[in-house]
Amino acid sequence: ATKWCDDGIYLLASQPVDKCQSQDGAESALQEIERYLETANQHKLTDLNGIWRDYESVLTQDLRDQVDKVFQKQLSMQEMFEKRRVSLKKLAAKQTRPVQPVAPRPEAIIKSPMSSPG
């Protein structure tokens, strides 16, 4: 779980900001994050109370503290990923320009040279 967190933090840190500013770059970065998060179930600590219960006989206070730190690190990392996902989704959204209605231009009155005084 610790390695998964560290790898995730590295992934976020290694995404170039300038690449994420374009729509295609944002979509690519978003897909990269989505693929990484799909591996969460294999690596994350999900049931802290279950860990305490299942390993009660072998958990020292140091190990409990370490497991707790990893759990907190996961929560922090998930928050970072969620914030990045929200911002990338905004950038990746198809930007359509609003159509502004324009009144038709009145035709310019063209005077023929014959009708000019003179």
For residue range 62-78, list pLDDT tens digits in order: 989 999 999 999 999 99
Which pTM was predicted?
0.68
Helix axes 2-14, 61-92, angle to 10 degrees: 30
**For the chain, what is the mean pLDDT?**
83
Whether the predicted pLDDT of 117 surpasses 60: no
Pick the closest to residue 8 from 74, 69, 87 (CA basis).
Answer: 74
Q: What mean pLDDT comes out for the span 26-43?
A: 90
Whether the predicted pLDDT of 85 surpasses 60: yes
Whether the predicted pLDDT of 115 surpasses 70: no
